[in-house]
Amino acid sequence: MTGLGGLNPSPSSLTLGLVQQRVPLVETMADVDAATDRVVAALRAAKDGFSALDLVVFPEYSLHGLRKSGWARDELMCDLDGPQVERLRLACRDAGVWGCFSVMERNPNGAPFNSGIVVDSAGEIALYVRKLHPWTPKEPWEPGDIGVPVCRGPKGSVLSLLICHDGMFPEVAREASYRGANVLLRTAGYKFPLKQSWRITNEANAFQNLAYTASVCLAGHDGNGIPSMGEAMVCDFEGTIVERGDSTPDRVVTATIEPARADAARREWGVENNIYQLGHRGYTALAGGATDCPYTYMSDLVSGRYRVPWEDEVQIVDGTSEGYGPPREAGSSVDTARGGLEAR
pLDDT above 90: percentage of residues in the chain: 93
CA distance linking residue 286 with residue 306, whole number of Å: 31
- In terms of Cβ atoms closer than 10 Å to its own Cβ (0-12, 13-18, 19+), residue 92 is buried
- Which of the following is catalytic: 47, 60, 139, 203? 60
Residue 309, number of CB atoms within 10 A of its CB: 6
| pLDDT tens digits, one per residue of 62-97 | 999 999 999 999 999 999 999 999 999 999 999 999
Q: Is 65 left (phi over 0), alpha (psi -120 to 50) or beta?
A: left
Secondary structure of 265-323 as H, E, C letters: HHHHCCCCCHHHHCCCECCCCCCCCECCCCCHHHHHHHCCCCCCCCHHHCCCCCCHHHC
Residue 219 · residue 249 · CB < 8 Å: yes
Whether 343 shows a pLDDT value over 70: the answer reads no
164 as an active site residue: the answer is: yes
- Which of the following is catalytic: 47, 131, 155, 191? 131
Question: CA nearest 265: which of 243, 295, 297, 238?
Answer: 238
pLDDT above 70: percentage of residues in the chain: 99
- Which of the following is catalytic: 78, 92, 100, 164? 164
Query: Does pTM top 0.85 for this prediction?
Result: yes
Q: At what angle do helices 195-209 and 170-178 cross, to 10 degrees?
A: 30
| pLDDT tens digits, one per residue of 30-62 | 999 999 999 999 999 999 999 999 999 999 999
